[in-house]
Chain A
Amino acid sequence: MGESSPSSTHSCEDSTISTSQELSSEETEPFNCSICLELVYKPIVQACGHIFCFWCAYQAMNVRKESHCPVCRRPYKYFPRVCELLHFALSKAVPEEYERRGREVQRTEEQKQVFSPRLVESPRQVWSPRSFDEAAGFSSLQSTPRGVAALTVNSSAGKITPASVLCSQSEDRFEDMGCARRDAAFMQKAVSVDDFRCSNCNDLLHRPVVLNCGEVFCEPCLKDTPSKVIYCPSCKAPHSGNSTFICLELNQFLEGAFPMEYSRRKGQHLAETIQPAYCENEPLGDLKAEKVLHVGVGCDGCGMYPIEGFRYRCVECTEKIGFDLCGDCYRRGGNVMGRFNQEHRPNHHMEQIQQRVHRPLDFNMHNSSIQRRRQQQQTANDLDDYINSFVE
């Protein structure tokens, strides 16, 4: 995957004309992905708070360097995990449309033989170090997916199996409805406060922030992060970026769906002055020194894409997408869930991948100038030796 090749170069590439700085989508339907213009499926919430489909977000990333949010152009380096809260909430709020999207995506995945993560409704705990026995228990749970994840497509025939006839009937019904517009009011009726609880305070989300691990918290709940790096309070995964942005779309939806509850939460938090959690350092250590770039390969732990520095690849995972970790995540150890559908286990053997260093053009120039300077230094030294030999 990761076919998004860099845009074509041109003589006037450095143009500064920015006639369309506002990339605002005109679609007013709630939870539309601004890339495929459809209902988001397996939503990914970027650190800036913008929502995209899993595959749209993945494909929009730059394989060689830092990526930018398609909507606000904020730079980012870490591919977030699917926001499961939003995933299950949407499958409840607009079940028919969400199932249809699921089938569409599954069909494409079957063709490409690369799969997005299978999502199972709770108990869910990723990233935290755990013993292998627990992990095995988790896998047995995973093998019996329910809900949306239960949709099965016969890979050989490429058709929907008889087991999901019910689903196909509902699809027909949906298609009869034509392109009926998704209505926020309609969606709001199908969900309850229970679908939108903060993983920390267990109350209705207020000013929701989605972290890189996909978990959602009230902004005030993240405020008291003691370290400079923001870590998820429940799964302890580090968040990318040095500040938190609320997911405005979700916030707006919550405000509309539960006005009473929301204003109560607002009142609760009003006493405390709301300040975004902020840290100065880039999270996840000092990879700046090691500039080996693994083009088109992302870390399944922290989501860094492309991996910079050390890279470890699982030699036992058979999925086409593979399972890779960056140096930090490899050292941290524990049971790391893949960002796709990998069946990776902590006892799998991993191998360090050596790769030719990809140096940008200016880096090469820099290198040659260093060499030149070394040569000059060498001649100067030789000259000194020569003079010294005379002095002696």
Chain B
Amino acid sequence: MLDVSRVQKELMEVERDKLSGVSIQILGSSLSHMQGTIEGPSGTPYEGGVFTIDIQLPSAYPFEPPKMQFITRVWHPNISSQNGAICLDILKDQWSPALTLKTALLSLQALLSTPEPGDPQDAVVAEQYLKHYSTYVSTARYWTETFAKRSSIGLQEKVMKFVEMGFSEDAALGALQSTGGDENAALEKLCSG
């Protein structure tokens, strides 16, 4: 049985803290599935990007770690470039019930700024990081520009994408405006409402 009151308290804390650059949205009616976003740390190839992370809470949470996976594609030695799987100890055996979703997301942000190629999740990226560092930096930056920039395509273009999916222009525009231009969140909103 999921500790609902603890998760609610965590979400309130994330809501209160505007400075950390971390946010969490609930997906669906239960609290077991949500989506978090972090900002790419400055001074890294991920700067300026906004990364979306899928969060699944097991029923034994917080005594078991949350399952986290990048939805936004990232070029990073410890994150799979294929499916976004994350290799981070605190999401596995080093999890502690005193950690929260917010601290876990902040740890992911820290992971972006300090890759550990010695313990890779994505061997290809790790090899590139070790052997051709400058290529790694430019690839990571290119991926950030392509996949993690909210403003990478204009609002009108996004609306057109939704119109092609069969939503009305007004509804698509409204959804996008209310979610701050986040396509995934807007789609979620359109599908639920």
Contact digits for B113-130, partner A, Cβ 8 Å, 1 yes 0 no: 010100111000000000
Contact of A37 among B6, B89, B95 (CB under 8 A): B6
- Whether A143 sits at the interface, judged by CB under 8 Å, is no
- A109 to chain B: closest CB distance in Å? 13
Interface size on B, residues (CB 8 A): 35
Contact of A15 among B6, B62, B89 (CB under 8 A): B89
Q: Is the CB–CB distance between A7 and B64 below 8 Å? A: yes
Q: Chain B residues with Cβ under 8 A from A13's Cβ?
A: 92-93
Q: Is the CB–CB distance between B92 and A10 below 8 Å? A: yes
- A66 to chain B: closest CB distance in Å? 13
- Whether A290 sits at the interface, judged by CB under 8 Å, is no
- Whether A122 sits at the interface, judged by CB under 8 Å, is no
- Stretch of B45-53, B98-106, B152-160 that contacts chain A: B98-106
- Whether A35 sits at the interface, judged by CB under 8 Å, is yes
Q: How far is the CA of A187 from the CA of B103 in the complex (A)?
A: 29
Q: How far is the CA of A3 from the CA of B90 in the complex (A)?
A: 20
Q: Which residues of A (1-45) have their CB < 8 Å from a CB of B?
A: 3-5, 7-10, 12-20, 23, 25-26, 34-38
Max chain B CB contacts within 10 Å: which of A5, A38, A70, A73? A70
Q: Is the CB–CB distance between B119 and A23 below 8 Å? A: no
Q: Is the CB–CB distance between A17 and B3 below 8 Å? A: no
Q: Chain A residues with Cβ under 8 A from B26's Cβ?
A: none
Q: How far is the CA of A177 from the CA of B13 in the complex (A)?
A: 19
Residue of A nearest to B8 (CB): A37
Q: Chain A residues with Cβ under 8 A from B119's Cβ?
A: 12, 14-17
Q: Is the CB–CB distance between A20 and B64 below 8 Å? A: no
Q: Is the CB–CB distance between B111 and A4 below 8 Å? A: no
Residue of B nearest to A15 (CB): B89
Residue of A nearest to B110 (CB): A19
Q: Chain B residues with Cβ under 8 A from A73's Cβ?
A: 96
Q: Chain A residues with Cβ under 8 A from B104's Cβ?
A: 20
Q: Chain B residues with Cβ under 8 A from A68's Cβ?
A: 96
Q: Chain B residues with Cβ under 8 A from A4's Cβ?
A: 60, 63-64
Contact of B97 among A15, A19, A35 (CB under 8 A): A35
If the complex has contacts A7-B65, A59-B63, are A19 and B88 also in contact, measured as CB distance less than 8 A? Answer: yes
- Whether B169 sits at the interface, judged by CB under 8 Å, is no
Contact digits for B35-71, partner A, Cβ 8 Å, 1 yes 0 no: 0000000000000000000000000101111000000
Chain B residues within 8 Å of A, Cβ to Cβ: 3, 5-6, 9-10, 13, 60, 62-65, 78, 87-90, 92-99, 103-104, 106-107, 110-111, 114, 116, 119-121
Sample 16 A-B pairs with CB under 8 A, ordered by A number.
Answer: A4-B63, A5-B64, A7-B93, A9-B92, A13-B92, A15-B119, A16-B116, A17-B78, A25-B98, A34-B97, A37-B6, A37-B9, A37-B10, A38-B9, A68-B96, A70-B98
Chain A residues within 8 Å of B, Cβ to Cβ: 3-5, 7-10, 12-20, 23, 25-26, 34-38, 56, 59-60, 68, 70-71, 73
User: 7 extra interchain contacts, Cβ-Cβ under 8 A, other than A12-B87, A17-B88, A17-B116?
Assistant: A3-B60, A7-B64, A7-B65, A7-B95, A20-B90, A20-B103, A70-B97
